[in-house]
Chain A
Amino acid sequence: MQEVEKIVNGKDLFKRPEYQEVLANKKQFESSMLAINPAKVEEIAEWTKTWDYREKNLAREAITVNPAKACQPLGAVMVALGFEGTMPYVHGSHGCVAYFRSYFTRHFKEPTPCVSDSMTEDAAVFGGLVNMKEGLKNCAAVYKPKMIAVSTTCMAEVIGDDLMAFILAAKEEDGGEYLPAEYPIPFAHTPSFVGSHITGYDNMMHGIMSQLTEGNKGETKQRINIIPGFETYIGSLRSVKSIVEAFGTDYIMLGDHSDQWDMPAGNYEMFQGGTKIEDAKDCINSSATISLQKYATSKTMKMVDKRWKHAGGFSNPIGLKGTDEFVMKLAELTGTEVPQKLKVERGRLVDAMQDSYPYMHGKKFAIWGDPDFLIGAVSFLLEMGAEPTHVLCHNAPNGWEAEMRAMLDTSPAKDSLNVWAGKDLWAMRSLLFTEPVDFMIGNSYGKELMRDTGTPLIYIGFPIFDRHHLHRYSISGYDGALNLLTWITNKVLDQLDEDTKGIATTDYFFDLVR
């Protein structure tokens, strides 16, 4: 029973004898093997750690277990929230939208506005035109967004709804009361059964950029477009802007959700910050476009390259080398020297790397995440002399595996470094048991791997539900690399203390100074 002066929640409550008795007593009615034959559970648990299990596990062709990817419309919602006053609108059933909103909200600890047009069974039969007509009108009336960005769920894609025709029909029927002809309603088809959330990001970004700029081609301006990609680190967006600003050049960040998902307390307004619609309409007239995530923007950048013929291309500013390349690209595009401010920042980062290198050097890491994140993060690990033993990308697009392999081949340890494209985190579990590493880098889904394999987890990635405020930091630019260095080094040191804290046994290595 609770004691009023020391009320405990479930964490400690269920440890108490009266609850332990309840749980033990329950076993007689249970069919799970732990209740029937714990030895059998132990036996199977041990088997799951073996090479035999690993071979069967990695040979799976049909069932995905503990994925490290999500579906297209999630990425589309992120794009929309990076534009000024824009409501993400998902054409399909509302359950999906409840999921996208919860998912982002649990990560950012911020509200995530997004509507759906609540298609149900009759829409599955007759199509979702009626829903679209009413939905756009209601959304415009109630939330008064400056723009509505329409994406789709798999339901709408399977029945083959025609977004362009539907949006035109909605505007026509409304007659301009809520949806004037010029009201921007860009759209993208985002089928969940193709690619992953980064594909949805690409499709929506392509939709907004191509549709908003239609007929706007004019004189080219000395200005750089920056497309961040599926970036979940708010600080990274700010680091990138600060680097570009250091060059004193005009720029437009296309899809800047840094204010939307980082609102100060005090009052609530549904939309904050974001790329100005006017800027988005004019981005076709910039002289260059740089995408920071190659694999999350391949379709968009193909358009920019082939049709808009912008200079720029890809540059991934994670890690020292990546940031250097980004900085040099900006220097080249702007025709200016690297600013002193950035030179100092770089110097400080390198200084820090040289201070901490003994703790990362030769350490084995397992890492997973989105393809572009991995390119940057693995580059940084290699820059520090670490060994990325297992690099796993569940949503790896074509070309990624070869690029990652080539990067790993630059390491002296290359023969023991592995790339796992298209594999899930249950596969990772087998990898960790059979070829163990010192540390893992990944999202909250690594938590069970940490428990099962005992490998310490460094939280870097998306989603992170169970650690606070990490997303507010940067992992891009020189300052972002310093954060990566700090988090990783200090986790190594934490673990060193953990391993050496045995009193009168191992604590001779429990050093005060490191």
Chain B
Amino acid sequence: MGPETLEAKQKAAIEEILKAYPEKAAKNREKHLGVGSPNDENQKTCGDVRSNKKTVPGVMSQRGCAYAGSKGVVWGPVKDMIHISHGPIGCGQYSRAGRRNYYIGVTGVDTFVTMNFSSDFQENNIVFGGDKKLGKCIDEIEELFPLNNGITVQSECPIGLIGDDIGAVAKTKAKELDKTIVPVNCEGFRGVSQSLGHHIANDTVRDYIFDAKVNVNTSDVEVTEYDVAIIGDYNIGGDAWSSRILLEEMGLRVVAQWSGDATIKEMALTPKVKLNLLHCYRSMNYISRHMEKEYGIPWIEYNFFGPSQTIKSLRKIAAFFDESVQAKCEEVIAKYQPMIDAVIAKYKPRLEGKTVMLFVGGLRPRHVIGAYEDLGMEVIGTGYEFAHDDDYKRTKEEIFRSTVIYDDVNEYELEAFVKKLQPDLVASGIKEKYVFQKMGLPYRQMHSWDYSGPYHGYDGFAIFAQDMDLAINSPVWAHSKAPWEMEG
């Protein structure tokens, strides 16, 4: 398939897809679908798509909410704090331990990530308010979980609607208990997706970790010239660990992980680092910009998916430091190169030319493209659940060819795109997984790494390659058709 025909096919698919909608919805969705190319003239986005707008009602969007962005993504992985899902029982239950934010700790004793703390609102809490109950929740947590180093209050929808003042409760209790208590107004109806939840959570980190007294000892860590923080890595399947190892091998000292396997101390130490390394730009650019403005800490984005991007990123990071780091950086690259060459030699012949369609969240719709391309696979469609213009702008720099771009794609559209463009692999989330597997299409979950991983760094890429091969070349896909349905 030549590039012209691919582009034409993609454009035709969009046109066809829009026909199913009533007029108003079609007009809206048209702006979120496009065909992007590395040479796009529009510098503001990719494929001219619009983003970060309200979802069309009734279409089965894959988006989540602000609570998911705050509790599920940013705050939830902070391991030595307890995160209360404040409101009715469901939100905390549905979001419990599904993201695979790995951490080291004794769960229920000094760390709490995979647990579910809920204020379990009943009707009387809605009618009479839940502030009193919240205060009591905090007291009970203090008694039963004495090693917690702080509490966050993750608001569910009703909190902001019934006029509760969780800020006042947090303030009173923080003083009384001499403890970090963070009220987060991340009610699910705020904003258009989980994205606003990230922003709200970032702001509360600023207000309650940076600008307030944190009751853990940070004085035992002396600052060095090589201190960096990993920002926007949620340690899914251990991603932050397989990233950290590379940074340490090149002579840097990783003082903090935000927020996979994080502790409050690491976060409190971060305003003293020399450089912030930002992986998930979407969810943590806010706090990075704040640290730049407030503490003069520069930040750079990096990408540890696939060797091409990893090498580029390692060099970009090293360039901020002295020659010793740059020299070690080259040593690291040289050390891993034979392994990477072997991985590519093994898997590329099995995967070359296979086409991929992606639909994920934060950074992956663009960041993982390079990893696929390193294996000779061709990404022909990508999109984000909750991106903004600046994400699409960055996407333009990472695509290799004419690529259909779908913002906030819904179930109907994704299914239709896949049927029309016939990729060899679809890589998206759990909600979509079985739709495509039913069609006999190889599929990988790219939020949870499909219970594998890590995928970051050199070691992660080897796993990624092995998993993509597993998906595409498994014999199971050939069983979909019964022998009596075969032609000839």
**Is A137 at the interface (CB under 8 A from chain B)?**
yes
Give the residue of A41, A131, A153, A177 whose beta carbon is less than 8 angstroms from that of B110: A41
- Quote the shortest CB–CB distance from A159 to chain B (angstroms): 6
**Is B123 at the interface (CB under 8 A from chain A)?**
yes
Q: Provide the bound-state CA to CA distance between A10 and B463, in Å.
A: 9
Q: Is the CB of A106 within 8 A of B98?
A: yes
Q: Is the CB of A193 within 8 A of B123?
A: yes
Q: Is the CB of B94 within 8 A of A67?
A: no
Q: Which residues of A lie under 8 Å from residue B343 when comparing CB positions?
A: 2, 4, 7
The stretch of A264-272, A315-323, A371-379 in contact with B is A264-272
Q: Is the CB of B462 within 8 A of A137?
A: no
Q: Is the CB of A99 within 8 A of B458?
A: no
**Is A73 at the interface (CB under 8 A from chain B)?**
yes
Give the residue of B54, B60, B110, B119 whose beta carbon is less than 8 angstroms from that of A34: B110
Given contact pairs A95-B68, A118-B55, A194-B123, A29 touches B141 in the complex (Cβ within 8 A): no
Q: Is the CB of B123 within 8 A of A10?
A: no
- Taken residue by residue from 367 to 390, chain B's Cβ proximity to chain A (1 for < 8 Å, 0 otherwise) reads as 000000000000000000000000
Q: Which residues of B lie under 8 Å from residue A64 when comparing CB positions?
A: 89, 116-120
A-B contact count (CB 8 A): 358
- Quote the shortest CB–CB distance from B338 to chain A (angstroms): 9
**Is A493 at the interface (CB under 8 A from chain B)?**
no
**Is A168 at the interface (CB under 8 A from chain B)?**
no
Given contact pairs A2-B343, A4-B462, A64-B119, A121 touches B93 in the complex (Cβ within 8 A): no
**Is A448 at the interface (CB under 8 A from chain B)?**
yes
Given contact pairs A22-B245, A105-B434, A95 touches B188 in the complex (Cβ within 8 A): yes
Q: Is the CB of B105 within 8 A of A32?
A: yes
Q: Which residues of A lie under 8 Å from residue B108 when comparing CB positions?
A: 48, 426, 429, 448, 452
Q: Is the CB of A142 within 8 A of B109?
A: no
**Is A101 at the interface (CB under 8 A from chain B)?**
yes
Q: Which residues of A lie under 8 Å from residue B157 when comparing CB positions?
A: 92-93, 153-155, 158
- Quote the shortest CB–CB distance from A167 to chain B (angstroms): 13
**Is B415 at the interface (CB under 8 A from chain A)?**
yes
- Quote the shortest CB–CB distance from A154 to chain B (angstroms): 5
- Quote the shortest CB–CB distance from A74 to chain B (angstroms): 7
**Is A61 at the interface (CB under 8 A from chain B)?**
yes
Given contact pairs A22-B241, A41-B110, A143 touches B412 in the complex (Cβ within 8 A): yes
Q: Which residues of B lie under 8 Å from residue A121 when comparing CB positions?
A: 189-191
Q: Provide the bound-state CA to CA distance between A177 and B466, in Å.
A: 51
Q: Is the CB of A117 within 8 A of B80?
A: no
Q: Is the CB of B434 within 8 A of A110?
A: yes
Q: Is the CB of A142 within 8 A of B106?
A: no
Q: Provide the bound-state CA to CA distance between A466 and B99, in Å.
A: 14
Q: Provide the bound-state CA to CA distance between A368 and B134, in Å.
A: 27
Q: Is the CB of B25 within 8 A of A10?
A: no
**Is B486 at the interface (CB under 8 A from chain A)?**
no
Chain B residues with a Cβ closer than 8 Å to the other chain, count: 134
**Is A23 at the interface (CB under 8 A from chain B)?**
yes
- Taken residue by residue from 356 to 383, chain A's Cβ proximity to chain B (1 for < 8 Å, 0 otherwise) reads as 0000000000000000000000000000
**Is B328 at the interface (CB under 8 A from chain A)?**
no
- Taken residue by residue from 109 to 143, chain A's Cβ proximity to chain B (1 for < 8 Å, 0 otherwise) reads as 11111111111110110000001101111110111
Q: Is the CB of B62 within 8 A of A98?
A: yes
The stretch of A11-19, A223-231, A286-294, A494-502 in contact with B is A11-19
Q: Is the CB of B454 within 8 A of A159?
A: no
- Quote the shortest CB–CB distance from B451 to chain A (angstroms): 9
The stretch of B44-52, B261-269, B301-309 in contact with A is B261-269
- Quote the shortest CB–CB distance from A44 to chain B (angstroms): 5
Q: Which residues of B lie under 8 Å from residue A9 when comparing CB positions?
A: 237, 452-454, 463
Give the residue of B65, B121, B134 whose beta carbon is less than 8 angstroms from that of A95: B65
Chain A residues with a Cβ closer than 8 Å to the other chain, count: 109
Q: Is the CB of B116 within 8 A of A67?
A: yes
The stretch of A52-60, A342-350, A480-488, A505-513 in contact with B is A52-60
Q: Is the CB of A13 within 8 A of B434?
A: no
**Is B244 at the interface (CB under 8 A from chain A)?**
yes
Q: Which residues of B lie under 8 Å from residue A123 when comparing CB positions?
A: 189
Given contact pairs A9-B452, A155-B157, A158-B157, A96 touches B188 in the complex (Cβ within 8 A): yes
- Taken residue by residue from 117 to 158, chain B's Cβ proximity to chain A (1 for < 8 Å, 0 otherwise) reads as 111111101100000011011011101101101000000111
Q: Which residues of A lie under 8 Å from residue B440 when comparing CB positions?
A: 265-266
Q: Provide the bound-state CA to CA distance between A132 and B433, in Å.
A: 28
**Is A31 at the interface (CB under 8 A from chain B)?**
yes
Give the residue of B65, B87, B257, B436 whose beta carbon is less than 8 angstroms from that of A93: B65
Given contact pairs A102-B98, A178-B22, A194-B122, A111 touches B438 in the complex (Cβ within 8 A): yes
Q: Is the CB of A118 within 8 A of B61?
A: yes
Q: Which residues of A lie under 8 Å from residue B102 when comparing CB positions?
A: 10
- Taken residue by residue from 318 to 349, chain B's Cβ proximity to chain A (1 for < 8 Å, 0 otherwise) reads as 00000000000000000110010011001000
- Taken residue by residue from 421 to 434, chain B's Cβ proximity to chain A (1 for < 8 Å, 0 otherwise) reads as 00000000111111
**Is B182 at the interface (CB under 8 A from chain A)?**
no
- Quote the shortest CB–CB distance from B361 to chain A (angstroms): 11
A-B contacts, 21 of them at CB < 8 A, read: A2-B458, A4-B462, A7-B463, A13-B242, A29-B263, A33-B80, A64-B118, A70-B94, A94-B61, A95-B64, A95-B188, A98-B63, A102-B430, A109-B434, A111-B431, A118-B55, A134-B58, A192-B90, A192-B121, A194-B122, A263-B438
6 smallest beta-carbon distances between A and B, as pairs: A95-B65, A71-B90, A135-B58, A31-B265, A135-B57, A99-B94
Q: A4-B346, A102-B429 are in contact. List 6 more A-B contacts (CB 8 A).
A: A8-B463, A26-B244, A92-B157, A113-B411, A124-B160, A141-B20
